Amino acid sequence: MSDLARRASISLWSILHLIANGDLASLIFFACFAVVAAGMASIDAKRRRLLGAAAWQPFAAQTSTMPFAAILAGRNQLRLNEIGTWRWIAAIVAYALRLGGQAHITGVRHVRSDAALRI
């Protein structure tokens, strides 16, 4: 999938979700995705201009716009120690807070309290 197709699909996905969900939380969430998807090309072009084509090519060759694609393709390596332990802990705490607070912030329950196994 080309970078343009990826940006277009993310933009289309976010715009369709904006139309389907009329609430303020969805507007903010999906509008941010649309802006980021549209802005990726300009950010890449700006960095390429600032670094110059000679310095940009090696960087672009070892990275990807899809998460972990460069690692899976063998162009880069996953080094967990570069992230740092405190960041892992902060991410887990942030995820737990988000999961627990989602119903209060967005009005959408992630886990139903009345969920029961029904056959």
| Distance separating alpha carbons of residues 10 and 6, to the nearest angstrom | 6
Mean pLDDT of 6-26: 82
Residue with tokens 């969430």: 29
Domain ranges of the chain: 3-76, 79-119
Averaged pLDDT for residues 16-38: 83
CA distances in angstroms from 72 to 1, 35, 58, 75, 81, listed in the order given: 15, 28, 18, 8, 18
| pTM: predicted TM-score of the whole model, two decimal places | 0.47
pLDDT at 92: 93
